[in-house]
Structure 1
Amino acid sequence: MGRMGDVLAGIHSAWEFDTDSVLIRFERGIRTPKLFQVLRERRVPYEALARVELAPGVRRGTVALRAVLRRGADPLLDAAAGQLKTGCDPYRLVLPADRETLADFYATELRGVLGADAELPAGRFLVRAPEPPLQFKAYDGKAAFDGGTVSFRWFWTGASSAKWKAGDQFFDVADLEDVEWRTPEVLGGHLRLIRRPAEGRESRPGEPDQDPAAVVFGLGYGLVHESLPLAAAVLAAIRADRATARNADAPVGGGAGGPSPRAPGALRADPADIAERIRHLGGLHEAGLLTDEEFSVKKADLLAEL
């Protein structure tokens, strides 16, 4: 791979070549795709590469050097499930056309380090997931991931009554099966956590706006660029937990389906926010959407966060 430390600078990003990987650093300029700014950088081991392509860019006067990763090598691409537009591909380097000869040189160099199994699916994630803690605000709630637990805290202005009745949600990675991400750039965008089968739980979840295991983005609410890195981090944690369970020759832990308790030492909720939530619960109670018992339980849960 040429000389270690070689850098190929393009539009919005630069590739720095090492002995065993390429480090992609993204700019933070106004015109840089928001997803790139959130990611900041990605390190791609050469063993994660399937092939390298060089082609004319979408814009006239540019060329694009693209690293195509092996299927199953990157949690970010697995979570995206083919929904990323060309301009948001983090492994595509756009350069001025007058640098095509240089780009072709590095493309040839990269092809020279491809392994014999480059076109085969990877048996594990080879590219690291974005590091937690991660969080973002959706239309109906705030999602956060600390590395072990995913939390959904509902906004009274956007969450459905079904989600308010269920209360804020906490999901241990060990209780999760998969992650479903639908881009916020289309109608119906959401992030849903797929839980492991458990007795008494619906086998088929309802619509995302009614499912307490999902947050919805809302078309026109704004592009939630932070949602994909969080989805990728959760997916990587799920796979790691499953691999650890297999290596230990122990059954994968499945939860009972209820929310996990708040972690010790977690930040306490804002009292004003809790008061507003209780007022909203009171409105649902008066409207007959909550029974006396449900109202008492949810109110006690909220007060316990203080």
Structure 2
Amino acid sequence: MIRAQGLTKTYGDKTAVDGLDFTVEPGRVTGFLGPNGAGKSTTMRMALGLDTPSRGSVTVNGHRYESSPAPLREVGALLEAHAIHPGRSARDHLRWLAASNGIPTTRVGEVLEQVGLDTVAGQRAGRFSLGMGQRLGIAAALIGDPAVVILDEPVNGLDPEGIRWVRQLARQLADEGRTVFVSSHLMSEMALMADHLIVIGRGTILADCSMQQFMADHAASYVRVRAPQSTDVEALLVGRGLEVNRVADELRVQGLEAPAVGELIGSHGLLLHELTLVRSSLEDAFMALTADSVEYHAKAADEIKAVRR
């Protein structure tokens, strides 16, 4: 378990993390989301004792991580996948990590096989691709068979097979009862991976709830209606006080659940070709929630053209 209480970090007059209170529970994958500069990496670094809080505290299993006598047995972390000596082989990199924490060397072969690097274990890490380096970083996080796993952007540089593997690994670790804390900007993967979300913006918590609750609270939804008598259907629905927007050949209806919309249309003898509940994606919900927390806004192509004119 990871527990933050009033966790704050300032750099001069800038507050990077501002009074965070949250708990990362075992047995589930907790996604950690936020725009660039929101304070995610700083928070993870404080959890691992790499940065010192200005105020408040963050503990792992009830104590500060740096006080653990064998930290890799308690917490496995991936923050910088390429924080590896380029002249050292993958096997030797893991060997010294194991030796430093009293971990049997047999564990080295196990994690190399688990992450798919057993056939290149003797190669120098400096020759590894971005994806291979990412796999080695995950192997280092798993070397101590830890109860708590912290992964910052674990799918960077991975191909589709590797991305799916990371997703399955996170789920497996959580199913084993471990605490899994994952930060990623890849919303489509987070939607498939996480059970719980902690979202921060400008150093403060914007949401701390289950994935299901987050989508219910922040994902817009509407009922898509396609009907041969669409003008009559639209008039009927508007007359009942529903919000109806016409987009091409479909009507987008808000204010009533899909079954009730269908029953209303059918009760007036009108035909339906499609009745579908459409819900926004996690990316849409995240963007809506964090719109005021984004530090850098890029201009769209049409805005740039307008300026040039």
More helix by share: 2
Q: Which has the higher contact order (CA 8 A, sep 6+)?
A: 2
TM-score range, shorter chain: under 0.3
TM-score (norm 1): 0.22
TM-score (norm 2): 0.22
Between Structure 1 and Structure 2, whose CA radius of gyration is higher?
Answer: 2
